Amino acid sequence: MTVAEGGERIQMTKAQTDSVQKLTQWILIVLLAAYTFYNLGPIFWLIISSLKSRADLFSMPPVWFFEPDLSGYQQVFGVGAAAESASAYGVLDSLISSIVVSTVGTALAVILGTMGGYVCSRFNFTGKNDFLFFVLSTRMLPPVAVLVFYHLMFARLGLADTRTGLVLVAVFANVGLATWIMKGFFDGVPKEIEQIALVSGYTRLYAFFRLVLPMVKGGIAATAGFCFIFAWNEFAFASILTTTQAKTLPVKISAASGATGIEWTQICAAGVVLIIPVLVFFYLIRKHLLMGMTFGVLGRR
Amino acid sequence: MAKIELRDLSISFGAFTAVDKVNLTVNDGEFVVYLGPSGCGKTTTLRSIAGLVDATNGDILFDGERVNDLKPSERNIAMVFQFVSLYPHLKVRENIVFPLKARGIPSSEIKRKLDWVTEVFGLGDELKRYPAALPPGAKQKVSLARAVIRDPAVLLLDEPLSAIDEQFREEMRWELGHLQRELGVTTIYVTHDQREAMSLADRIVLMNNSKIVQVAEPDRIFHKPDNVFAGQFIGSPSMNLIDLVPAPGGLRLGDSAIVLPEAAIPADVASSRQKLRLGVRPRDIRLVNEEVADGFPVEVEDVYSVGRERYFLFRIGDNEYQGVDHRVEQGTGESRIAFEKGGLIFFNAETGERVSAVEKAA
């Protein structure tokens, strides 16, 4: 065989692999497009529905070009003419409730979880494994199983239908998960970090706040993200434990039927509003989520 | 500078005893090396001296004062860890002065000390870089610089050279020895590498199974191991052990027909009336020819060369032993060997303890 023949054969094979590669690429693109549509389609539908007037919303076939109608948003945020309507009553309050309960609940759960996770990562104490299991088991509990008893307890304690009560629920529901996630992140930080500081004359508190915490800030951001989503989306407890004063937005939406029937425009607008904070939150912490924990200098890799 | 005493020190983790009733005195300015297989308790002992691990029982004393209840930061110690542990977010300079910053030392003093350690370790060019940009050897130098910059009373080193490439390790070992003598700081060094121990130590503390096996100068621990473990752990290749059986005219080697004549056995060993086991280091075994009177026949099974030395595997009775010689060209097959005079170490076969003092032939 000559060299030229050999070269040609290789080129043929190369052309074939190229076309196979191109085909695979196209199949993947089509599959991804379908999957994207499957995921984003409903959200797109939600967004345009939130901008339609009642008449446009129910027109068949669906209209694609319409005069944007912001009455749904006006009702949710309590501004403009629609804010005065009977169906808008309490919607803004419920949005505020949601924000307060989620942020305060997340903050407390993350602070407690960070401290608990550090202790569980660094210290040995009697019953540590039982403690860790107990902490996690709070997450396994189906809310429905204890709802009634929560309701009775909260009613007796004066916590029913208060934001404080819902914050406590959010902390209870999330602190276990936060402890576990943070323990994992602390386990990834070499113990030498503190030990050097300790033998160099620093206190453990200094080592914890100044050296260890900065190394796990990505972990804290991730933990906060998870806790925030759970708190923001929490429905079961909020629906049973609130009546008028402290309803969260998900609960309010589920009951958004006014004098004129179900308030679809308002529901859609509130739905969009529900999505946005989670998006914003993750946009803000995206850098920390991706950031490596240490830079390969420390530890035993 | 400080003298360290460990009195009946025991450390347990649950049911596991990592350190079992250890007694030791380290003199002021002494370089003591803890040597032993992994898991023998040497690192745990070091950590308890640092205050990173609590003693379960017993006392740790610095200059006669009990320090068990002092925090690591109050013990005036410095420690270098096995794995390079510099803070990646701090430049080399900040890493080195880290312990000084803890004490609120004035910046002129910090500057003076920094200049001094930079000079000692030759780190001038690296000060403004981040640790990630340094090779492993330089990183560990920075760790050492950080440890000695504040004149600690005690320097604790936990296998500081094991993360460094072989070629730099030798060099660092010399430098470390130099530095310790220059500073005169009481140093405790943990390693499982007998070469490091032999070359650095004023005294070696040999540990096994949570207990101290022997404490002695490197020379003494090599030539007069207290027991079979010390004999076998120190020296490479490892010491041969041959069971001895009383026979007419001397002691028979294992299940062979070879008899070690009475003339070769020290009087106190011969009179001890114990079941004996003979220890011979491979380098104390010579290949000899017919003319040598105290030689005896063996079957050489395998031979290989390492540079100038020839390692050979031979058989006495049913057991294989190793020898090292550089004088004789030798293939496999029938041969004769002789034990170097004074290279014989006798152990009690039951307790493993050495039976008599053996003086090495000059």
Q: For residue B26, list its beta bridge partners.
A: B4
Interface check B361 vs A, CB under 8 A? no
Residue A5 has pLDDT above 70, yes or no: no
Amino acid at A118: Y
Residues B28, B30, B36, B38: is their CA dihedral positive or negative?
A: positive
A contacts of B51 (beta carbons < 8 Å): 198-199
Taking an 8 Å cut-off on Cβ atoms, the answer to whether A201 and B99 are in contact is: yes
Residues A115, A116, A117, A122: is their CA dihedral positive or negative?
A: positive
Minimum distance, in Å, between the CA of residue B319 and any CA atom of chain A: 42
Q: What is the pLDDT of residue A12?
A: 61
Distance between alpha carbon B21 and the CA centroid of its chain, in Å? 20
Q: What is the pLDDT of residue A297?
A: 35
Amino acid at A289: L
The beta-strand segments (E) located in chain B are 4-13, 16-26, 31-35, 57-62, 65-66, 77-80, 154-158, 186-191, 203-208, 211-216, 240-247, 250-253, 259-261, 276-280, 285-288, 296-306, 309-316, 319-325, 333-339, 344-348
A contacts of B79 (beta carbons < 8 Å): 195-196, 199
Q: pLDDT of chain B along its 362 residues, tens only?
A: 689 999 999 999 888 999 999 999 999 999 999 999 988 999 999 999 999 999 999 999 999 999 999 998 889 899 998 876 788 888 999 999 999 988 888 999 999 999 999 988 888 888 999 998 888 888 888 998 999 998 899 999 999 888 788 888 888 888 889 889 988 999 999 999 999 999 999 999 999 999 999 999 999 999 999 999 999 999 889 999 999 988 888 888 888 888 888 888 887 787 777 888 999 999 999 888 777 777 888 888 888 888 888 888 998 888 899 999 876 666 788 888 888 878 889 999 888 888 865 443 33
Q: A299: pLDDT confidence band, cut at 50, 70 and 90?
A: very low
Q: What is the pLDDT of residue A294?
A: 40
CB nearest B73 (choices: A192, A203, A296): A203
Taking an 8 Å cut-off on Cβ atoms, the answer to whether A196 and B81 are in contact is: yes
Q: Where do we find the tokens 């943070």?
A: A182
**What residues contact A77, with CB distance under 8 A and at least 6 apart?**
A83, A92, A95
Q: How many helices (H) and strands (E) does chain A have?
A: 14, 2
Residue B331 burial (CB count, 10 A): 8
Interface check B83 vs A, CB under 8 A? yes
Q: What is the pLDDT of residue A2?
A: 46
Interface check B155 vs A, CB under 8 A? no
Domains, chain B, with CATH or none: 4-232 (3.40.50.300), 238-348 (2.40.50.140)
The bridge status of strand B4-13 relative to strand A261-262 is unpaired
Taking an 8 Å cut-off on Cβ atoms, the answer to whether A214 and B81 are in contact is: no
Q: What is the pLDDT of residue A74?
A: 80
Of A277 and B328, the structure prediction assigns the larger pLDDT to A277
Radius of gyration of chain A (CA): 27
B contacts of A198 (beta carbons < 8 Å): 51-52, 71-73
Q: What is the pLDDT of residue B272?
A: 75
Residues A150, A151, A153, A157: is their CA dihedral positive or negative?
A: positive
Predicted-assembly ipTM surpassing the 0.95 threshold: no
Q: What is the pLDDT of residues A58-113, one digit of tens each?
A: 777 777 777 777 777 887 777 776 666 666 677 788 888 899 999 999 999 999 99
Residue A291 has pLDDT above 60, yes or no: no
Least confident of A21-25, A43-47, A232-236, B330-334: B330-334
Q: What is the pLDDT of residues A176-212, one digit of tens each?
A: 989 998 998 898 888 888 888 988 888 899 999 988 9
Residue A293 has pLDDT above 50, yes or no: no
Task: Give the nearest chain B residue to A293 (CA atoms).
Answer: B88
A contacts of B153 (beta carbons < 8 Å): none
Of A257 and A54, the structure prediction assigns the larger pLDDT to A54
Task: Give the nearest chain A residue to B51 (CA atoms).
Answer: A199
Q: What is the pLDDT of residue B360?
A: 38
CB nearest B85 (choices: A190, A198, A202): A190
**What residues contact B68, with CB distance under 8 A and at least 6 apart?**
B54, B55, B59, B60
Find the mean pLDDT for residues A114-133: 91
Nearest to A227 by CA among A107, A100, A134: A107
Minimum distance, in Å, between the CA of residue A256 and any CA atom of chain B: 53
Taking an 8 Å cut-off on Cβ atoms, the answer to whether A200 and B78 are in contact is: yes
Cα A300–Cα B87–Cα A198 angle in degrees, nearest 5: 90
Taking an 8 Å cut-off on Cβ atoms, the answer to whether A297 and B102 are in contact is: no
Q: Which residues of B31-56 are buried (b: 16+ CB within 10 A; e: fewer)?
A: bbbbbbeeebbbbbbbbbbbbbbebe
CB nearest A199 (choices: B77, B132, B139): B77
Q: Which residues of A touch B (CB under 8 A)?
A: 190, 192-193, 195-203, 211, 214, 294-300
CB nearest B88 (choices: A192, A294, A300): A294
CB nearest A297 (choices: B71, B88, B102): B88
Cα–Cα distance between B251 and A202 in angstroms, integer?
A: 63
Taking an 8 Å cut-off on Cβ atoms, the answer to whether B102 and A300 are in contact is: no
Of A301 and A249, the structure prediction assigns the larger pLDDT to A249
Residue A295 has pLDDT above 80, yes or no: no
Q: For residue B65, list its beta bridge partners.
A: B62
Residues B341, B345, B349, B354: is their CA dihedral positive or negative?
A: positive
Residues B73, B76, B79, B85: is their CA dihedral positive or negative?
A: positive
Cα–Cα distance between A220 and A296 in angstroms, integer?
A: 20
Residue A263 has pLDDT above 70, yes or no: yes
C-alpha separations of B330 from A222, B280, B300 in Å? 69, 20, 9
Interface check B98 vs A, CB under 8 A? yes
Interface check B90 vs A, CB under 8 A? no
Residue A122 has pLDDT above 60, yes or no: yes
Task: Give the nearest chain A residue to B130 (CA atoms).
Answer: A297
Q: What is the pLDDT of residue A87?
A: 65
Q: A33: pLDDT confidence band, cut at 50, 70 and 90?
A: very high
The residue of B62, B85, B126, B146 whose CB has the most chain A CBs within 10 angstroms, and thus the best one to mutate to test that interface, is B85
Taking an 8 Å cut-off on Cβ atoms, the answer to whether B132 and A211 are in contact is: no
Cα–Cα distance between A291 and B89 in angstroms, integer?
A: 14
Residue A140 burial (CB count, 10 A): 8
Average pLDDT, chain A: 82
Cβ contact A122:A186 at 8 Å? yes
